[in-house]
Amino acid sequence: MPKPERKHRGAAPIAQAGEPVRIAKALARAGLCSRREAERWVAEGRVSVNGEVLASPARDVGLTDRIEVDGQALPEVEPPRLWRYHKPKGLVTTHKDPQGRKTVFDSLPEHLPRVVSVGRLDVNTEGLLLLTNDGALARHLELPATGWMRRYRVRAHGSVAQEALDRLKGGIEVGGVRYGPIEATLDKVQGSNVWLNIGLREGKNREVRTILDHLGLTVNRLIRISFGPFQLLDLEPGGVESVRRRVLIDQLGQHVAHTLGLIEDDAAGTGGGRRKPSARPPGNAQD
């Protein structure tokens, strides 16, 4: 089944595990489709709750509701998971590209469930991209409020003094956009290029490239080497590795982990239990 993009909503509050959710969200969390697809399925009369065929997606469902698609019960929900992925240069971080370019999600191993990315890396950026099967976890990790540093290795054409890089610690405004504090150090000079180490917490669109362009540098290689406590290390380009659940819980903290449904209890997600990664959508789910 195609895996359409689930758009991120920014600073949305984290829903408590087990709270009633809209039917579209319940279907998306079960890994069947995006919320937009779920709304279309409802309009097509394919979704029922407790035996009632829904006519509108404006319906909340909870743990005790029986949800069916094309007459088949919803697969059990898998707890949130996180993967480290080494994104190669040349892939776009979207599920469907209007220009027909190859995407990150086209390139993932078949055994992975439906996943979304934690933020994005542009087509010419390589390195660490976090993937998750849970939209709420993705939104939480994207927020600057987490305080997690994103670190990059950068090769750029031109020259720059460490003093100019040091001034970025107080933030900078470029083209009317204010960027927060940035850690930047000059690693080495290599011919007409410089290698830099960059650390930032906000991750605005094309932030590294924009700021270095302002300093007279042209980025010709950009590699993200870490996102908070998670590092690229020796993961090969195109490689995917699961983050152990215990590690994820430790990094998020007990409260957030419980809120996101990582710590199991009787209220761990609509429908309860876990969904097997190999679960397939009922009926004909092709677009």
- Is residue 117 a contact partner of residue 129, using CB atoms and an 8 Å limit? yes
The residues that are catalytic are 122
- Is residue 31 a contact partner of residue 133, using CB atoms and an 8 Å limit? yes
What b/e string do you get for 151-188 counting C-beta neighbours within 10 Å, with b at 16 or more? bbbbbbeeebeeeebeebeeebeeeeeebeebebebee
Q: CA–CA separation, 96 vs 79, rounded Å?
A: 26
Q: How far is C-alpha 106 from the chain's CA centre?
A: 15
Q: CA–CA separation, 165 vs 196, rounded Å?
A: 10
Residue in the block written with tokens 């290390």: 233
How many CA atoms, within 13 angstroms, populate the side-chain half-sphere of residue 261?
26
